[in-house]
Amino acid sequence: MSEPIVIVGAGQAGIKAAETLRLKSYESDILLIGEEKWPPYQRPPLSKAYLKGELSEDRLLLKAADYYDKARVALTTGSRVAAIDPVGHQLTFTDGRTQSWSKLLLTTGTRARTLPLTGGDLEGVFSLRGIDDTKRIGLALEAAQSVAIIGGGYIGMEFAAVVRSLGKQVTVIEAQDRILKRSVAPEISSFFQDLHASHGVRLALGEGVNRIVGADRAEGVELASGEMVAADLVLVAAGAVPVTELAEAAGIAVERGIVVDEACRTSAPDIFAAGDCTVFPSRRYGRRIGLESVQNASDQGKAAALSMLGEQTIYDPVPWFWSDQYDVKLQIAGLSAGYDRTELVGEPGEGRFALRYFAGDTLLAVDAVNDPRSHMMARKEIAVRDHALAA
Ligand code: FAD
């Protein structure tokens, strides 16, 4: 009997790949290996409804408990892969066990970026990536009076919204001159800054951090300006880093993420990769890109499965993403990097509008605020535009 297809990383991309293999009538064994003790689950609610206590744990799971037996997907949780051998087609777990494969898919995701800060290891300092982080933070939040968030990206700002809804003091410390700067135009940052300010969040923009202060546990954050922000809970929300060390140690090409082609193939034969851990060539945007989104994990996981089965596959999506803060939903279609002008549709003052990003006459991206119709139309418009350009 042939060796199984082995998937390392039991997250959003890994489970989508396993599911696709079965839907495509792949008959041999599938082994899905995850380091966390949880079966595959969705992460977005961890900084939103689950953190607020509005969603139960079982609703986080991407598949019902009986799915794995029924679909004959052998799920191994709590097992970390320590090394892969591309030549011998074998991997080694941290406990020394080995496993052979016919094809290997790496869906190892990202980890939260850590900052080399004095006081970063104090009790009361957290990052947020997995269920266990949210559980720990949830407990600490019950006792906390004031919270400092280092980083004004999506996770930081969603966390700020939840903490304010619990009535705690919140300061967001952001080194850039505006929040969400990495992905949106000033108009969108400005809308969300006003929104958070109106809910009582203090924004410290253009501010560095000297250190986290405290004896045994966090008591505050000292800013580069010397100001002390009191906080008994500190969230470091400084972005995410692709988990690439297995690939790197095996001599597979890595450049920020694991480098794959449009068929999700790495530089090693029979080894594929998908999801947050990859960078891939986008014809649409004319460069290699890496995405951290449910859309990418799911769609690239599916593409990798088809590619492993030998189907002709070109993965070149219209990226999309969302973020929920208070009662506002931001939905992003496309990538705005490189835009030279924007066009506002609707009225920010009314809380419902869209911002369209162009390079010349080419529509690159649309950010829709409480406007799902504009978002759905933008996804179609960007896809059709590219189809027309390619024709
Ligand atoms: P993951 O889901 O991270 O899965 C990777 C898995 O691989 C992990 O379980 C990891 O433990 C495991 N692993 C790594 N190395 C090994 C090893 N050596 N051995 C065994 N297992 C290993 N996206 C959106 O589109 N919208 C949102 O609103 C949104 N909100 C988010 C909120 C939070 C708090 C977070 C953390 C993420 C959010 N995202 C959001 C991003 C989205 O969840 C990710 O893009 C998606 O989960 C990526 O899926 P993945 O399968 O690539 O990686």
Q: How far is the CA of 13 from the centre of ligand 1 (A)?
A: 8
3-class secondary-structure state, position 80: coil
pLDDT at 284 (0 to 100): 87
User: Taking Cα atoms as reference points, which of 229, 223, 174 lies closest to residue 196?
Assistant: 174
Report the nearest-CA residue for atom 36 of ligand 1: 129
**Ligand 1 site, residue 322, Cβ cutoff 6 A:** yes
Mutate to test the pocket of ligand 1, among 294, 299, 318, 322 (most ligand atoms within 8 A of CB): 294
Report the nearest-CA residue for atom 32 of ligand 1: 44
Q: Residue 6's Cα: distance from chain center in Å?
A: 23
Find tokens 């969302």 and name the residue: 322
Q: How far is the CA of 31 from the centre of ligand 1 (A)?
A: 19
User: Taking Cα atoms as reference points, which of 336, 349, 346, 341 lies closest to residue 372?
Assistant: 346
Q: How far is the CA of 304 from the centre of ligand 1 (A)?
A: 17
**Ligand 1 site, residue 334, Cβ cutoff 6 A:** no
**Ligand 1 site, residue 19, Cβ cutoff 6 A:** no
Eight-class DSSP state of 217 = B
Q: What does each of the 391 residues of the chain score in pLDDT, given as a tens digit?
A: 589 999 999 999 999 999 999 999 999 999 999 999 999 999 999 999 999 999 999 999 999 999 999 999 999 999 999 999 999 999 999 999 999 999 999 999 999 999 999 999 999 999 999 999 999 999 999 999 999 999 999 999 999 999 999 999 999 999 999 999 999 999 999 999 999 999 999 999 999 999 999 999 999 999 999 999 999 999 999 999 999 999 999 999 999 999 999 999 999 999 999 999 999 999 988 999 999 999 999 999 999 999 999 999 999 999 999 999 999 999 999 999 999 999 999 999 999 999 999 999 999 999 999 999 999 999 999 998 654 444 4
Neighbour tally for 269: CB within 10 Å: 10
**Ligand 1 site, residue 17, Cβ cutoff 6 A:** no
Report the nearest-CA residue for atom 18 of ligand 1: 81
**Ligand 1 site, residue 31, Cβ cutoff 6 A:** no
pLDDT at 386 (0 to 100): 55
Q: Residue 74 carries which side chain, given as an amino acid letter?
A: A
Q: How far is the CA of 252 from the centre of ligand 1 (A)?
A: 21
Find tokens 């969108």 and name the residue: 188
Assign residue 351 a region: left if phi > 0, alpha if psi is -120 to 50, beta otherwise?
A: left
Q: Which atom of ligand 1 is nearest to the CA of 323?
A: 28
Q: How far is the CA of 343 from the centre of ligand 1 (A)?
A: 33
**Ligand 1 site, residue 321, Cβ cutoff 6 A:** yes
- Exposure of 271 in the CB half-sphere (CA atoms within 13 A): 26
For the chain, which domains are there?
Answer: 5-111+241-308 (3.50.50.60), 114-238 (3.50.50.60), 327-390 (3.30.390.30)
